Amino acid sequence: MRKLAVIGLGHVGATVAYTLVTKGLVDELVLIDTNEDKVTAEQYDILDMLARLDTYTTVKVQDYSTLKDADIIITTFGNIKVLSEGGNRFGEFDHNTEQVKSVGAKIKESGFNGVIINVTNPCDVIATLLQRYTGLPKNQVFGTGTFLDTARMQRAVGQALKEDPKNVSGYVLGEHGESQFSAWSTVRVKDHPISEIAKLHNLDLDVLDEQARRGGWLVFHGKHYTSFAITTCAIKLALAVLSDAHLACPASVYIEKFGCYVGYPAVIGSNGVEEVNNISLTDAEKIKLEKSANFIAEKVASVK
């Protein structure tokens, strides 16, 4: 039986729950939020779909004890109202670093021993704290991290070249935030290095990097939240865990040398992070990665 939980039923959490059920990806779903009315509303909105779906899902709410035998918890709690237009993901820092203490303690108390996929921002900091407060092995906790930012880079490059973004490979690394960077040495278009493609098509890679970094704020400007792309990322990662896919992708994973979680290539399977996929970077990219990781580590250290 495939059992998943979603903690935090805001725009992202609700979209994750809806997608899991409509696609028939879970047999049992647990929904938890501090807002009782919101949880009840989402539960019954889902229950009212079941008579029209080809699959059935049991939906339980507000009971941390039911997490004990869950396969995956997707954490999406937060307070989008504190984010300012064009700001950064650390707008939710104070609120979410307080929330994660309570959430982590309750997950630990439940006896949960599955995999946690964190979406809550600042993603890398919260993933680090979730692992600390739950006491789970580091491989069993990871975040969506730069999985989404990499998709935004693929979109930006694809748009510039009028290519399907799936024909663009490579990584955005570091913080899921302002210090992230496109590791252009890893990026290829239909297996051609982006450096060659950029010269051929007169592309400004700095502009494309900025488009990837600011992609979330472009969406936020019109919707005042983001939901579809991040939900797609979270569910793809969850499916990789459920099916033991050994999916090679960037995610927010624990890097020993930095002492925190940071966006980096990894392999995702039934145990969570099966391995960190160490790759070759240029000296300049190594410096950017270290700077970004140190920024995350400093933020983690500031949490009392």
pLDDT on residue 86? 47
Domain ranges of the chain: 3-143
pLDDT over 60 (residue 84): no
Q: Quick one: average pLDDT of 37-41? A: 98
Q: Quick one: average pLDDT of 218-228? A: 91
Q: Quick one: average pLDDT of 88-97? A: 82
Which residue did the predictor score with more confidence, 46 or 94? 46
pLDDT over 60 (residue 67): yes
* Catalytic residue (one of 95, 176, 192, 246): 176
Known binding-site positions for NAD(+): 8-13, 33, 96, 119-121
Which superfamily, per CATH, for 3-143? NAD(P)-binding Rossmann-like Domain (3.40.50.720)
Q: Quick one: average pLDDT of 61-87? A: 87
3-class secondary structure, 86: coil
* pLDDT tens digits, one per residue of 238-254: 999 999 999 999 999 99
241 with 272: CB under 8 angstroms? Answer: yes
Write out the H or E segment, with its range, that includes residue 147: helix 146-161
* pLDDT tens digits, one per residue of 5-35: 999 999 999 999 999 999 999 999 999 999 9
Which residue did the predictor score with more confidence, 38 or 215? 38
pLDDT over 90 (residue 276): yes
- The predicted model scores a pTM of 0.96
pLDDT over 80 (residue 287): yes
pLDDT on residue 89? 65
**Close Cβ partners of 35 (under 8 Å, ≥ 6 residues apart):** 9
pLDDT over 80 (residue 88): no
**Close Cβ partners of 51 (under 8 Å, ≥ 6 residues apart):** none
Q: Which residues of 110-126 are buried (b: 16+ CB within 10 A; e: fewer)?
A: bebebbbbbbbbbbbbb
Is position 221 annotated as part of the catalytic site? no
pLDDT on residue 167? 98
Torsion of CA 47, 53, 56, 61, to 10 degrees: -20
pLDDT on residue 87? 54
Q: Considering only 88-92, 173-177, 220-224, 287-291, which range has the smallest mean pLDDT? A: 88-92
117 with 145: CB under 8 angstroms? Answer: no
pLDDT on residue 90? 76
pLDDT band at 221 (very low <50, low <70, confident <90, very high): confident
Which residue did the predictor score with more confidence, 92 or 296? 296
* pLDDT tens digits, one per residue of 112-131: 999 999 999 999 999 999 99
Both tokens of 303, joined, read 């949490």
Q: Quick one: average pLDDT of 139-157? A: 98
pLDDT over 90 (residue 148): yes
Q: Which residues of 19-47 are buried (b: 16+ CB within 10 A; e: fewer)?
A: ebbeeebbebbbbbbeeeebbeebbeebe
For residues 100 and 61, give the distance between their C-alpha atoms in angstroms, rounded to a whole number.
19
Known binding-site positions: 8-13, 33, 96, 119-121
